[in-house]
């Protein structure tokens, strides 16, 4: 009878230890996956910082800044004339001859 009790206690302890080991490995895999995702986000953020830094340095030049203002915001200097060219919309009637 005591052997059976010892065996039962041993099995209970073994099952409890196994569940702890399995939980630990599962948590480790989850943490590793989360680390990889976070590392990828960090690399994308670093790349974006590099792009923004390059654009910032480009815009520090007065001529480049004025060129971007003209292109994006239709900026012009006093006395300077501007022509805005609007692209023609493509429709099915583009193939037809003008009337």
Paired tokens of 68: 């971007």
70 exposed, middle or buried (CB, 10 Å; 0-12, 13-18, 19+)? middle
To which residue do tokens 């994006």 refer? 72
pTM confidence score: 0.52
Paired tokens of 82: 């501007």
- Does residue 69 form part of some domain? yes
- Does residue 91 form part of some domain? no
Dihedral sign for Cα 46, 48, 53, 58, please: positive
- Does residue 34 form part of some domain? yes
Residue of 56 and 92 predicted with greater confidence: 56
Query: pLDDT (tens digit, 9 = 90+) per residue, 6-52?
Result: 999 999 999 999 999 999 999 999 999 999 999 999 999 999 999 99
- Does residue 64 form part of some domain? yes
Q: Where are the alpha helices (DSSP H) in the chain?
A: 2-60, 62-73
Paired tokens of 10: 């041993």
- Does residue 83 form part of some domain? no
Q: What is the pLDDT of residue 93?
A: 57
Domain with 37 in it:
10-76
């Amino acid at each position: 009878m005591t052997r059976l009790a010892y065996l039962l206690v041993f099995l209970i302890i073994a099952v409890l230890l196994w569940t702890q080991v399995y939980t630990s490995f599962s948590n480790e895999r989850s943490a590793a996956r989360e680390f990889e995702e976070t590392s990828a986000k960090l690399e994308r953020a670093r790349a974006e910082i590099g792009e923004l830094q390059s654009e910032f340095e480009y815009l520090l030049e007065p001529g480049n800044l004025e060129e971007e203002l003209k292109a994006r915001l239709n900026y012009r200097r006093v006395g300077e004339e501007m022509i805005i060219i609007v692209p023609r919309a493509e429709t099915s009637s583009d193939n037809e001859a003008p009337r």
